[in-house]
């Protein structure tokens, strides 16, 4: 569903992403770990077609994102660290607006159900987003992913700054999307969540994917040890 083939990004003499080969299949939650500057956001931004690769290509459902920008964007949902919503609109109005941009129309009752299923507390759907916590805004993002029927979810540190309960709820939502066959690529610093929620883990350093393995192949302590070994090497 998501594929990087020799995907590379250079800025002048500096290589932000060395040729990356990666596949994320339907139902996979692939977590990219790595220190600041490792190339995680660069990878996500290349899949989003926000930046142009210096080499190789990113594919979504077999389509190169460079050549098929609108078609690939229709199939994906993106939740960054701080999801931008219109603060003066309600969660419901935001969801309705962004669904419209994605070419999807839903009845108000359907959108309310999606917000409810995403765990937005009772009564908040009709309140201005300015009054939402970060966790609530992330839930609107998940509701949008479901409303769009997105096949691919790109997440850039979505749980950073969330309290443990909100982070736990976010993980539960990811697992539900996984059951729908969504392919998820997530950049995160949260080793615990990567181990707990991810199906695959990749460790990046200085623009290189050093290791990639099944999340179930390590326990949390082993993951932490492996991660720290790479960071100190
Ligand atoms: N426009 C740019 N020009 C030059 N260098 C850039 C540019 N954008 C990113 N970089 C560099 O590319 C490298 C990878 O950055 P990237 O944002 O992908 O890291 P990251 O793993 O997401 O880090 P973080 O955990 O801090 O989000 C960094 O060294 C960064 O300084």
CATH number for the domain that contains residue 208: 3.40.50.300
Provide the residue-wise pLDDT of the chain in tens; the chain has 233 residues: 999 999 999 999 999 999 999 999 999 999 999 999 999 999 999 999 999 999 999 999 999 999 999 899 989 999 998 899 999 999 999 999 999 988 888 999 999 999 999 899 989 999 999 999 988 999 999 999 999 989 999 999 988 888 888 889 889 999 999 999 999 999 999 999 999 999 999 999 999 999 999 999 999 999 999 999 999 88
How high is the pLDDT of residue 165? 87
Are 113 and 14 contained in the same domain? no
Ligand 1 center to 39 CA (angstroms): 6
Q: Is residue 80 part of a domain?
A: no
Are 188 and 216 contained in the same domain? yes
Q: d(Cα 206, Cα 28) in Å, to the nearest integer?
A: 25
Are 129 and 67 contained in the same domain? no
Are 71 and 155 contained in the same domain? yes
The protein residue with its alpha carbon nearest to ligand 1, atom 17, reads 41
How high is the pLDDT of residue 49? 95
How high is the pLDDT of residue 187? 97
Query: What pTM value is reported for the model?
Result: 0.93
How high is the pLDDT of residue 15? 97
Q: Is residue 93 part of a domain?
A: yes
127 burial (CB, 10 Å; 0-12 / 13-18 / 19+) is middle
Ligand 1, atom nearest to 32 Cα: 21
How high is the pLDDT of residue 185? 98
Ligand 1 center to 139 CA (angstroms): 27
How high is the pLDDT of residue 205? 97
State the CB neighbour count (10 A cutoff) for residue 71. 12
Place of tokens 């190339």: 39
Q: d(Cα 219, Cα 201) in Å, to the nearest integer?
A: 12
Are 24 and 94 contained in the same domain? no
Are 51 and 162 contained in the same domain? yes
User: Mutation test of ligand 1: which of 9, 13, 34, 42 has the most ligand atoms closer than 8 Å to its C-beta?
Assistant: 42
ipTM, two decimals, is 0.96
User: Final residue of a domain: which of 122, 147, 172?
Assistant: 147
Are 198 and 105 contained in the same domain? no
Ligand 1 cavity residues, CB under 6 Å: 11, 14, 16, 34, 36-42, 187
Ligand 1 center to 12 CA (angstroms): 13
The protein residue with its alpha carbon nearest to ligand 1, atom 5, reads 11
Ligand 1 center to 206 CA (angstroms): 9
Q: d(Cα 155, Cα 28) in Å, to the nearest integer?
A: 13
The protein residue with its alpha carbon nearest to ligand 1, atom 2, reads 11
Structural domains in the chain (count): 2
Q: Which domain holds residue 127?
A: 85-133+140-147
Q: Is residue 160 part of a domain?
A: yes
In sign, the C-alpha dihedral spanning 94, 100, 101, 104 is positive
Ligand 1 center to 11 CA (angstroms): 10
Are 103 and 61 contained in the same domain? no
Q: Is residue 220 part of a domain?
A: yes
Are 167 and 123 contained in the same domain? no
Ligand 1 center to 124 CA (angstroms): 36
């Amino acid at each position: 569903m998501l594929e990087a083939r020799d995907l590379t990004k250079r800025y002048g003499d500096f290589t932000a992403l060395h040729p990356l080969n990666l596949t994320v299949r339907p139902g996979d939650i692939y977590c990219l770990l790595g220190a600041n500057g490792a190339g995680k956001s660069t990878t996500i931004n290349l899949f989003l077609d926000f930046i142009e690769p210096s080499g190789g290509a990113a594919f979504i459902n077999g389509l190169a994102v460079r050549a098929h920008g609108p078609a690939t964007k229709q199939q994906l949902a993106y939740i960054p660290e701080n999801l931008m919503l219109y603060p003066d609109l309600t969660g419901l109005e935001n969801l309705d607006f962004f669904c419209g941009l994605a070419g999807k129309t839903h009845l108000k009752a359907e959108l309310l159900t999606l917000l409810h299923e995403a765990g937005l507390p009772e009564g908040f759907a009709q309140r201005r987003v300015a009054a939402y916590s970060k966790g609530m805004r992330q839930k609107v993002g998940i509701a949008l992913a479901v409303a769009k029927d997105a096949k691919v979810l790109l997440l850039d540190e979505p749980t950073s700054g969330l309290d443990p309960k909100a982070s736990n709820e976010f993980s539960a939502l990811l697992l539900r999307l996984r059951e729908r066959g969504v392919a998820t690529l997530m950049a995160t610093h949260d080793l615990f969540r990567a181990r707990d929620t991810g199906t695959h883990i990749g460790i990046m350093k200085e623009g290189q994917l050093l290791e990639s393995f099944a999340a179930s192949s390590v326990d949390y302590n082993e993951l932490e040890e492996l991660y720290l070994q790479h960071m100190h090497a």
